[in-house]
Every structure is written in C-alpha cells, then in structure tokens.
Structure 1
C-alpha cells in the first residue's frame, strides 16, 4: 500500500514538473533573427520608441524577399508573418511546411507552428516559395521546458555525487579486506603444533642431551 502511494506521489511530481513550459518571443528586430539580404522595416510611429532597435516590439515588422534564419532551443515554435505568395519552412534541414496566406491583406497571422519537436537546439529557415514572394516577418515564439533543464542538472549532480560515494565505498571495502588479510596471517602463525610435531621436538631435545 505504502509502495503504491509512493509511486503515485512520484508520478504526480514528474507530471507537474514536465508541465512547466516557458514561452520566449523573438521579434523581427532581435539579433537572433538573421536576414540574408537587404530588408525594409515597417514601423508604426505610434508604437516605436527612439531605441526600437534594442527592444522587442510587435508593432514592427520586416519585409524581405530572401530567406530568414532563426536558431532557438525549445520544444515548440510559432511563427507570425504575412506574405504576398508562398512561404517554405525548413526545420533542421528538412522542408516541413509550405504556407500560402489564405487572405492576403497585410494582416500578420500564425503561418507555421510545431508542437511535437524534441526538446533541444533547432534551426528554422523561412524562405520565399518563388522569386516574387515577399515575406513580412513580425515575430517568432518558442517554448522551453524549464523542468527538463532542471532534471538534467539534477541528474548530472546526482551522478557525480553517486560516483564519489561509490568510490568511497570501494576504498573502505579495500581497507577492510587488507585488515582481514593481516589478521589471517597472524592466526596462521599461531596455530599450535600437532602430536607428531611434538614427538619430533622431544626426540631432538633427547638426542642433544
């Protein structure tokens, strides 16, 4: 009963840990977003501050007709943009989606999402599907499982501590074995002589006399 209860508690803790997801936003002006050609910046004067280049504003968007490269570490990704024609999304070297804006109207919308990626480092390439396609990129959101990071750190720390403890146990066992070996040698030296050995000693002593 107690064992079953412990398993349930551990399972619930693991489930709650794995649900701790954190979203991060990369705006079109983020240094993590790499443009492979000249760009045109769209900015609403009512939302942009003088220092907009160092901030993250969804009130800005960047227009280009060349590929956009974004690297991130996470388990989910969402891309928001608008395009005059098709857009190809390539994730980690594989084409994963061809998107066409269903209602081209200069409205930024969700163009690509992936919620089944393995947690880790990824590279997303956003490219025009044809030479006349213009991409108006606004922002990208990626999700990081912070609990997984904590579990990995805890596992590494636990492994190190366990390894040190195991080495200590081996050292203590070696010391105990050496002590037992020494005691055995002392006991062997103190074994009393048998009857035949006693008779031989008596004969030797009589002959000398």
Structure 2
C-alpha cells in the first residue's frame, strides 16, 4: 500500500516539528536545593510587578537551581543583583550580571544543542566575591524540543545526581581559581607599593655592564 506524498510529508512534519516548552518557576521539573521564596499573590508581591511575570509567579533563592530538559535550545528569564553562573551538563556555558533582582530579563540563550537529555544549573554569586551567594529570582525557562514525551523522570535519578556533582566540583574549582587570582593580584600591588628601592643583584667576580 502506497501513501500519498502529502500524507508522508505531513507525518514527517509532525514528527520533525520543533516545539517550544515553557516552564514556570513553580514547575515540578525545576529543582531548588532549598525551598525558594515565592511571589505568587498580590499580598506578597507588588501587583504591577507580578503582572509582568510569566504566569504571575517567580521564585527567589540563594542556592543552586537545577533544570533537566531534553531539547536543542534553552532560554532563561531571571533577575539578579550580582552574577548568575550557568553550567550545562557540568560545563560552564556563560554568566549574566545584573544590578536589580526585581528586573526580569533574558539572561541566557543556548542554541544548536544536541537533541538529548541535558541538565542546566544556575548559581548566583556576588560580582566581586564569588564565594558569597547572591539571590536569583527565576521567572521562567524555555526549551526547544522535537520530542513530545517528557523525560524528566529519567533525568532526575542518576543522571541529575552525577551531573550536579560535576557541576559543583567545577564551580568550586572556578571560585577557588578566581579567589587565588584575586589574592595574587593583591599581593603584587602590595609589593609594588612597599618595595620601591629594589636591591641590585651582582654575582661575585663579575662586573656590572653599564
């Protein structure tokens, strides 16, 4: 039995169509290390501010945010007074700096990802001292997928655990390296300021050429 070309094209289009999936900050697919502070009603948040949020909610936290998804692109909308560090599958993919936690803006856009399971992690830090946490206000997360099924259950187990461990190790190494660089820079500036008359070094039996 032969299918008409139009039907075959329709089937291919349906199965190959890209779909944007929007996750609200309250979605069960988003994992918070600690329960966040939630803006959910006008009695908690300013009405004008709340009306500008996706689904009129937001979640604020100073701990890691973990978002498992399956797709080829990802977009994050948040506010921060500091620096938001993003890692995908345990690797650094970017950072975003803001000056107002209540200003929700597009903070990250990832394209051309492999069409498979991914884990995105978000951590807020002070822009100067990366060892000090900064509050992140997450509004929504959008990802582009070709798949109709939700693979969250498959990710949340061992995959998430392993990738989060890698992300934490990498983040710790990054923060330690930044801190060591800051200390070396501080020591260098102290020596340059204190040691103005540097002694000349001359080996015995050798004349200094002028």
Q: TM-score band, normalised by the shorter chain?
A: 0.5 to 0.7
Number of aligned residue pairs: 134
Q: Deviations over 1:67-125 (max 9, x none)?
A: 10010111111111001100000001101101112x53622111001111011110000
RMSD: 3.3
**8 A contact 2:101–2:136 mirrored in 1:** no
In the alignment, what sits opposite 2:105? 109
In the alignment, what sits opposite 1:61? 58
In the alignment, what sits opposite 1:196? none
The DSSP-based 3-state class of the residue aligned with 1:106 is strand
> Could you tell me how far 1:45 is from its partner in structure 2?
2.6
For residues 101 and 37 of structure 2, what CA distance do their matches in structure 1 show?
18
Provide structure 1 residue ranges, at least 5 long, that are not aligned to the other structure. Answer: 1-8, 49-55, 148-209
Radius of gyration: which is bigger? 1
TM-score by length of 1: 0.54
> Could you tell me how far 1:14 is from its partner in structure 2?
10
> Could you tell me how far 1:33 is from its partner in structure 2?
0.7
For residues 134 and 105 of structure 1, what CA distance do their matches in structure 2 show?
7
Provide structure 2 residue ranges, at least 5 long, that are not aligned to the other structure. Answer: 1-5, 46-52, 149-210
After superposition, the Cα gap between the structure-2 partners of 1:18 and 1:31, relative to the gap in structure 1 and judged at 3 Å, is: closer
Q: Deviations over 1:44-77 (max 9, x none)?
A: 439x9xxxxxxx9531101101110010111111
**8 A contact 2:25–2:57 mirrored in 1:** yes
